[in-house]
Structure 1
Amino acid sequence: MKKKIILCLLLPLQIIIVNLLSLFPDFVENYYSTGLYLYIAKASRIIFGVAGFSVGDIIYTIVIILIIRWLWIRRKTWRRGWKANLVTIGSFLSVFYFLFYFLWAVNYHRVPLNEKMGIEKKYTPEELISFTKRLITKANAVHLQITGNDSIKVVNPYAVEEIYSHSPDGYKGIALLNPNFTFKHESLKSSLLSTPLSYMGFGGYLNPFTNEAQVNCHLPLYNLPTTACHEMSHQLGYASESEANFIGYMASIANDDIYFKYSGYTFALKYCLRNIKKIDEAQAEALLPLINKGILQNYKETDQFSEKYESFVETIFKYFYDNYLKLNHQEDGLETYSKFVGLLVNYYKDKDL
């Protein structure tokens, strides 16, 4: 009981320390994100990466079962034993909080990627539209290269495991631009919880306790390469969803495989169109005829996937995840995902796509 009380007392102290670290991003960057974390992540991926299944999902399942079992056993003790029960809960949360931040989540407080790369995030509507037109041209060209017909959707010929095996290749290309993008010891897996993830509206997640990149293997295959690259960027310690989108896009188009390039270009294009629609819906509609019909068919495939799994569960989980992101200094919550458009527009101002 004494140990549990000590753990409970350590929880607020840990919260204070983590929030203080957010005030010193250079310290986090130099000593954690590009220091201690690299060793933690390497060890985790080596240990858990050898398993051909998601160890993290199994751990989560066991923990959830044990929590439900504990609640069931304690269901009649809440009145007379509420203090002991609260101490047990507090000690569990303290250990969970420590492992979560120590093993990965301190990365939320590192130096923003745009500052490290000298990229602005703000853009004008005109700059966004101009960039989107360039992206349309590129996406159309890659689409035609694959299909030879502008009206046929792209069908990715690879099995899910083949996509995973090709995913690290793009990181070799972008590592030449930035050594911080160097990726070793991949641990990329289909989540055993892919069906629940589909209902929650998520394409994947990083397990912070095992450093496994978990991918929702039910996603349309044309889009899966960029999703896999996105999750891999979290393994490199980029916690921000906008940064993960940006790195995932870059790794996709840097891949020599044309299906990865197509996935990356269409992924970015969809976000750009979505952001234009928020500014000027008529302008967004005016751009659609410029896009190959086959690409729009792929987008329809994604919409149909979302509709298939649409439920109240997604609303609940996205509400919690939105607030989780805000608590971890991603002030825009779920809108953070679309903020990577600013990185794209500014990074490629003077570069070829």
Structure 2
Amino acid sequence: MNRKLILPLFLVVQLIGLRILSLFPETVERFYSNGFYPVLAKISRITLGNISFSVGDVIYGIAIFFLLRWFWKKRKTWKAEWKSNLLALIGFASVFYFLFNLFWALNYLRVPMYQKLNIEREYSQQDLLIFTKQLIEKTNSIHSQLVKNDSMKVTLPYSQDEIFKKTQNGYDNLQKKFPYLTYENHSVKPSLLSLPLTYMGFGGYLNPFTNEAQVNNLVPKHNFVVTTAHEMSHQIGIGSESEANFVGFMATIHNDDLYFKYCGYSYALRYCLGNLENFQEDSTKELLPLIHTGILKNFKETQDFWDSHQTFIDVIFHQFYDKFLMVNQQKDGLESYSKFVNLMVNYYKGKEL
């Protein structure tokens, strides 16, 4: 066999193998998510957690440099040697994809959280309306405790480093209810790529190779809090974006700090209002006057931030990431981010917030 075909064929084997493995989530849960992965993640976070800068971002930068250098060197011979060059690229993708799955991405195939929580997967418009009204009441209550009047937006008094440290408290409290959400060995950092991430439309990401949680340090602080908790959930093996949003929400509202609780509840409220509009246009008209003006100002701050950085780059990368999520067992693509509302509504059905 031609040696150049080995790695491309290995990519095909991986895709078939992952498709088969997806049929056995209990096996993935037992041997990978609760077996191999926690050991590997712990080693990575202990090794790199105390380094102040993002090692993963540096590695990505070096990899991109050498990839561009390779393209530059091949530019004159690309047409003549296109088959060989294409096989080389597919071979690189094969190795990358193997390490990606080995170090983290097999968590996409684990047992879904709705099964662990023993709750329904879907909800009705009425269920969502009831939950949203509870969220409004809760968020208004906390907002009133943080500001002098209803029209003031909440401004967090913490630095980004303080937010990183304080997020741990939410996970410490959360693990008392859900031991499998235990978070140890802190490794959360502001991304060196925050400006590109902003124009790509992302608040953060987990580097699967170094297990560092990268947070966009340009986003408004009330978003920074929930994004930090979200990326930390990926570090403990939560693959699905909807589940990571749910765990991030839970970690913030279980935090002892009132500002963190506000960030979590207001974040959830914004998503719920959006999902109500998806059910029926203008269905939130009667709800918006019930929400404190200061909360709506925080919502607008978030919207203005992303609107001010929206370009064609944002559209391209969102289309790419949408397809990436679909390939990795998240059939709803980017819509899976808002699917965490399913988990919230059904988990709190019949319970108090």
Q: TM-score range by the shorter chain?
A: over 0.9
Looking at structure 2, the residues matched to 188 and 19 of structure 1 have their Cα atoms a distance apart, in angstroms, of 32
Match of 1:79 in 2: 79
Higher deviation after alignment, 87-96 or 252-261? 87-96
Distance 1:306 1:8 in 2: 39
**Structure 2 portions without partners, runs of 5+:** none
Q: Say if 2:328 is the partner of 1:300.
A: no
Cα pair distance change 1:265/1:35, threshold 3 Å? same
The question of whether the paired residues in 2 share the 8 Å contact of 1:45 and 1:212 is answered with yes
Per-residue CA deviations over 1:47-103 (Å, capped at 9, x if unaligned) read 221210111111111111110100000111123333332332222112101100000
Contact 1:229 1:251 in 2 (8 A): yes
Alignment match, 1:94: 94
Which residue number corresponds to residue 25 of structure 2?
A: 25
Compare 75-84 and 275-284 and name the one that shifted more. 75-84
Check the 8 A contact 1:190/1:214 in 2, yes or no: yes
**Aligned partners of 2:69, 2:9: CA distance in 1, in Å?**
25
Unaligned runs of 5+ in 1: none
| Deviation by residue 1:148-173 (Cα, 9 ceiling, x = unmatched) | 31110000011111101111110011
Q: Helix, strand or coil for the counterpart of 1:271? A: helix
Identify the residue that residue 156 of structure 2 maps to in structure 1.
156
Matches for 1:1-353 after TM superposition, within 5 Å: 4-353=4-353
Which residue identity does 2:266 align to in structure 1? T
Q: Secondary structure at the match of 1:122?
A: coil
Contact 1:219 1:305 in 2 (8 A): yes
Equivalent AA in structure 2 for residue 343 of structure 1? L
Compared with structure 1, are the counterparts of its residues 118 and 309 closer, same or farther at alpha carbon in structure 2 (3 Å cutoff)? same
Measure, in 1, the Cα distance between the counterparts of 2:214 and 2:4: 32
String of CA shifts for 1:104-149, please: whole Å, max 9, x gaps.
0011111100101101121111111111011000000110100031
The CA deviation at 1:329 is 1.5
Instruction: Rate the CA distance shift 1:83–1:122 in 2: closer, same or farther, 3 A.
Output: closer
Contact 1:242 1:336 in 2 (8 A): yes
Query: Partner of 1:218: helix, strand, or coil?
Result: coil
Cα separation, 2, equivalents of 1:280 and 1:201: 26
Q: 3-state DSSP class of the match of 1:252?
A: helix
- One-letter amino acid matched to 1:244: A
- Structure 1 position 350, deviation (Å): 2.6
Q: Report the alpha carbon displacement of residue 278 of structure 1 after superposing the two structures with TM.
A: 1.1
Contact 1:119 1:347 survives alignment (8 Å)? yes
Q: Is the 8 A contact 1:224 1:263 kept in 2?
A: no
- Aligned residue for 1:205, secondary structure, equals strand
In 2, the alpha carbon distance for the partners of 1:156 and 1:259 equals 7
The alpha-carbon deviation at position 280 of structure 1 amounts to: 2.1
Question: Aligned partners of 2:107, 2:303: CA distance in 1, in Å?
Answer: 32
Deviation at 1:222, TM superposition (A): 1.6
Deviations 1:308-328 (A, max 9, x none): 101111110000111111111
SS at structure 1 position matched to 2:189 = strand
Identity %: 54
2:24 and 2:9 mapped to 1: Cα distance? Answer: 24
* Residue identity matched to 1:66: F
Give, in whole Å, the separation in 1 of the partners of 2:15 and 2:158. 45
Please give the TM-score of this superposition, normalised by the length of structure 1.
Answer: 0.97
Local SS of the residue matching 2:286: helix
Distance 2:103 2:274 in 1: 34
In structure 2, distance between residues paired with 1:93 and 1:27: 26
- Residue 118 of structure 2 aligns with an amino acid whose one-letter code is G
Letter in 2 for 1:261: K
Could you tell me how far apart the structure 2 residues matched to 1:325 and 1:80 are? 35
Q: Distance in 2 between matches of 1:104 and 1:139?
A: 35
Task: Report deviation, 1:40.
Answer: 1.1
Q: Distance in 1 between matches of 2:334 and 2:87?
A: 33
Deviates more, 1:202-211 or 1:78-87: 78-87
Residues 206 and 213, structure 1, Cα contact 8 Å, conserved in 2: yes
State the distance in 1 between where 2:87 and 2:344 align.
48
| Partners of 2:148 and 2:6 in 1: CA distance | 66
d(CA) in 1 for partners of 2:94, 2:28:
21
Provide the rounded CA distance (Å) in 2 between the counterparts of 1:50 and 1:3.
Answer: 41
| TM-score, normalised by the number of residues in structure 2 | 0.97
Q: CA deviation at 1:283?
A: 2.2
Q: Residues of 2 paired with 1:93 and 1:283: CA distance?
A: 46
